[in-house]
C-alpha cells in the first residue's frame, strides 16, 4: 500500500494473498489503472520503483521483504516522471487496482494485465504487528503469499 509522507521514516506492515474469486462488492469499489517499473532492484529486495496511478506519478524506495518493510515515497511532476520512465523498459508491469473497505481494513485487489493476465492478488495493510498477526482472511482469499519472492512485483516485472 502506498504512503505519502515525505518527511518521516515509513514502515509498512502488510500481508498478501492470492484471490480465489472476486467478491460481488468489487463493483462498487474505487478502481484505477497502475503502471509501474523498476529503475534498480538489488537481490535482497531493496529497490526503486516508478509508478503512475491514474494521473499521479511517484517514485518509491523500498527495503526489506515479507510483512515488514521500510518505504519512502515522493510525488513526481509529469516531466520528472517522463525523464525517468524510459529507463524501466523491460521491467514494467500493469494492473487494475480495486480499493475495497473490509471490516476495519482497506483491501487492495490487483488484477494483473498483459504478461501476467490471470493473476489476482489482494494486499491488506495493518496499523501494527498484532493486527497483522490476528487478521482472519475473508473466504474469497486464497493462499497467503506474503514474502514469497515468486509474487513480488519486482520479480513479476523483470522475469
x/- mask, a second copy, residues 38-77, rule CB under 8 A, reads -xxxxx--xxx----------x-x-x------x-xxxxx-
Active site residue 38: yes
Residue 21 beta carbon to a second copy: minimum distance, rounded to whole angstroms: 37
- DSSP-assigned states of every residue in 125-139: EESSHHHHHH----T
Catalytic residue (one of 38, 94, 98, 112): 38
* 38 vs 28: CA distance, rounded Å: 31
Q: Among 15-23, 82-90, 125-133, 134-142, which window interacts with a second copy (CB under 8 A)?
A: 82-90
* 9 vs 21: CA distance, rounded Å: 36
Residue 2 beta carbon to a second copy: minimum distance, rounded to whole angstroms: 13
Which residue is associated with the grid cell 482469499? 141
CA of 122: how far to CAs of 16, 32, 35, 84, 158, in Å?
6, 15, 17, 28, 21
Residue 90 beta carbon to a second copy: minimum distance, rounded to whole angstroms: 11
Supply 20's cell numbers: 480465489
Binding stretches for a second copy (CB under 8 A) = 6-7, 9, 39-43, 46-48, 59, 61, 63, 70, 72-76, 79-80, 82-84, 86-87
The catalytic site residues sit at 38
Amino acid at each position: 500500500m502506498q504512503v505519502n509522507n515525505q518527511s518521516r521514516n515509513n514502515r509498512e506492515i502488510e500481508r498478501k494473498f492470492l484471490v480465489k474469486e472476486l467478491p460481488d462488492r468489487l463493483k462498487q469499489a474505487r478502481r484505477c489503472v497502475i503502471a509501474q517499473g523498476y529503475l534498480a532492484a538489488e537481490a535482497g529486495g531493496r529497490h526503486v520503483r516508478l509508478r503512475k496511478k491514474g494521473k499521479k506519478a511517484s517514485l518509491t524506495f523500498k527495503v526489506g521483504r515479507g510483512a515488514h518493510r521500510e518505504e519512502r515515497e515522493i510525488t513526481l511532476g509529469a516531466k520528472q516522471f517522463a525523464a525517468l520512465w524510459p529507463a524501466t523498459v523491460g521491467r514494467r508491469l500493469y494492473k487494475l487496482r480495486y480499493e475495497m473497505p473490509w471490516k476495519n481494513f482497506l483491501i487492495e485487489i490487483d488484477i494483473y494485465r498483459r504478461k501476467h493476465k490471470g493473476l489476482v492478488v489482494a494486499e491488506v495493510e495493518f496499523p501494527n504487528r498484532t493486527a497483522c498477526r490476528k487478521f482472519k482472511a475473508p473466504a474469497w482469499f486464497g493462499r497467503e503469499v506474503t514474502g514469497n519472492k515468486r509474487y513480488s512485483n519486482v520479480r513479476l516485472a523483470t522475469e
